[in-house]
């Protein structure tokens, strides 16, 4: 586990490559965001996008999936908020996405003496190096448990 | 279709009620955000949440689903960005969520004479009236097509 104490301002992380298939774009959007340019390849040709593009909700889901694959695993208690999400380039079938993020700053929690607050900036980038999405996150992380006390994620409140 | 011209600052919208099941919370999180407090009811009891809670990505997906059900359907070209997402209360199995949103302001697009930009504020509220999530959105909407010209969503670039 990566605890609050382990986090260093300006530390960076780069995820694995994530292949975005047409089937996944359509399946996700049919369930959650069924706009024509997300679910109908023929119809999408005649929109401003000129073809099928992934839903913004889908892109955020992919970002969370890649965050969850980080090792060591961050000792998240909760995400408090997200700011400045910008959808800068469309994500299309066959794109290969990578998540890059960087810690902006950290501070002690005012409400929870066993936790700290970490601000970070993330971006999804495609195989051309274009930025698909940017986001800033505010997360609460556990501090390292003293004396082998189990962490709140594993057994303690 | 609800075009840019139809949007009135301070107009409000309230969605239907959305029932959040434990099965849906776990299914979504297993695929996109497999943290213990989203996927394992027993383990979740021993976290700060005291039980299973929905992933933030899942809550944003539900918000998009309810936005898509609006009628008349907003003539979205694209969502440019999201700001000030705050996860204020946990969403739990059996909760009934409603999306309320309000137009903050509108303006002409500088880059697209056939479009306008609409800022809005949304919130997901549970059956106790607690705010689960707040978000501010910036969307680009089509203007009403002149002379019966097909809209960009239906056939024109």
Residue A97 contacts residue A116 (beta carbons within 8 Å): no
Q: Could you give phi then psi for residue A124, rounded to 5 degrees?
A: -95, 130
Q: Taking CB atoms and an 8 Å cutoff, what residues of chain B touch A78? A: 48-49, 87
Concatenating the DSSP letter of every residue in A140-156 gives EEEPPPGGGPPPTTTT-
Retrieve residue B45's tokens: 């009891």
Directed axis angle between helix A22-32 and helix A56-68, to 10°?
A: 110
Q: Which of B138, B149, B50, B57 is nearest to A62 (CA)?
A: B57
Residue B17 contacts residue B98 (beta carbons within 8 Å): yes
Q: What is the pLDDT of residue B154?
A: 42
Cis preceding-peptide flag for A72 (omega within 30 of 0): yes
Q: How many domains does chain A have?
A: 1
Identify the helix (H) or strand (E) that includes residue A59: helix A56-68
Can you say how many angstroms the Cα of residue B28 is from the centroid of all Cα atoms in its chain?
A: 16
Residue B144 contacts residue B2 (beta carbons within 8 Å): no
Task: Provide mean pLDDT across the span B61-84.
Answer: 96
**Residues B9-21: tens digit of each pLDDT:** 999 999 999 999 9
Tell me if B32 is assigned to some domain: no
- In Å, how far is A52's CA from the nearest CA of chain B? 12
Q: Which of A27, A11, A39 is nearest to A105 (CA)?
A: A11
Q: Taking CB atoms and an 8 Å cutoff, what residues of chain A touch B85? A: 81-83, 85
Cis preceding-peptide flag for B72 (omega within 30 of 0): yes
Q: What is the pLDDT of residue A119?
A: 98
Q: Does the beta carbon of A149 lie under 8 angstroms from any beta carbon of chain B?
A: no
Q: Which of A61, A86, A157 minimises the CB distance to B48?
A: A157
Tell me if B28 is assigned to some domain: no
Q: Which of A62, A80, A85 minimises the CB distance to B86?
A: A80
Beta strands in chain A (DSSP E): 12-19, 76-87, 96-108, 115-125, 131-142
Tell me if A67 is assigned to some domain: yes
Assign residue B94 the CATH number of its domain.
Answer: 3.10.129.10
Tell me if B37 is assigned to some domain: no
A110: Cβ contacts below 8 Å, ≥ 6 apart: none
Angstrom distance (rounded) from CA A132 to CA A123: 7
Q: What is the pLDDT of residue A151?
A: 52
pTM to 2 decimal places: 0.93
Radius of gyration of chain A (CA): 18
Q: What is the pLDDT of residue B149?
A: 54
Question: Residue B67's closest chain A neighbor by CA?
Answer: A33
What is the rounded average pLDDT for all residues in chain B? 93
SS3 content of chain B, % helix, strand, coil (to 5): 25, 35, 40
Q: What is the pLDDT along chain A (157 residues), one digit of tens a residue?
A: 999 999 999 999 999 999 999 999 999 999 999 999 999 999 999 988 999 999 999 999 999 999 999 999 999 999 999 999 999 999 999 999 999 999 999 999 999 999 999 999 999 999 999 999 999 999 999 999 987 555 554 433 3
Retrieve residue A88's tokens: 């800068």
Torsion over CA: A20, A54, B138, B100 (sign): negative
Tell me if B95 is assigned to some domain: yes
Q: Could you give phi then psi for residue B44, rounded to 5 degrees?
A: -60, -30
Tell me if B35 is assigned to some domain: no
- Say whether pLDDT at B68 is over 80: yes
Q: Could you give phi then psi for residue A83, rounded to 5 degrees?
A: -130, 160
Q: Taking CB atoms and an 8 Å cutoff, what residues of chain A touch B31? A: 61, 65
Tell me if B26 is assigned to some domain: no
Question: Where in the sequence is the domain holding B140, given as residue range(s)?
Answer: 4-20+56-145
Angstrom distance (rounded) from CA A82 to CA A105: 15
Tell me if A156 is assigned to some domain: no
Q: Does the beta carbon of B68 lie under 8 angstroms from any beta carbon of chain A?
A: yes
- In Å, how far is A57's CA from the nearest CA of chain B? 6
């Amino acid at each position: 586990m990566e605890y609050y104490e382990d986090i260093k301002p300006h530390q960076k992380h780069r995820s694995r490559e994530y292949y975005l298939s047409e089937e996944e774009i359509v399946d996700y959007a049919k369930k959650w965001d069924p706009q024509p340019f997300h679910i109908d390849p023929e119809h999408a040709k005649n929109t401003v996008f000129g073809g099928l593009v992934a839903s913004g909700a889908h892109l955020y889901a992919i970002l969370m999936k890649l965050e969850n694959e980080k090792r060591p695993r961050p000792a998240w208690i909760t995400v408090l908020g997200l700011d400045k999400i910008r959808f800068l380039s469309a994500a299309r079938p066959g794109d290969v996405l990578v998540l890059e993020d960087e810690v902006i700053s950290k501070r002690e929690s005012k409400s929870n003496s066993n936790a700290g607050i970490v601000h970070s900036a993330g971006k999804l980038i495609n195989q051309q190096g274009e930025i698909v999405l940017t986001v800033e996150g505010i997360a609460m992380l556990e501090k390292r448990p003293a004396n082998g006390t189990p962490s709140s994620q594993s057994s303690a409140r």
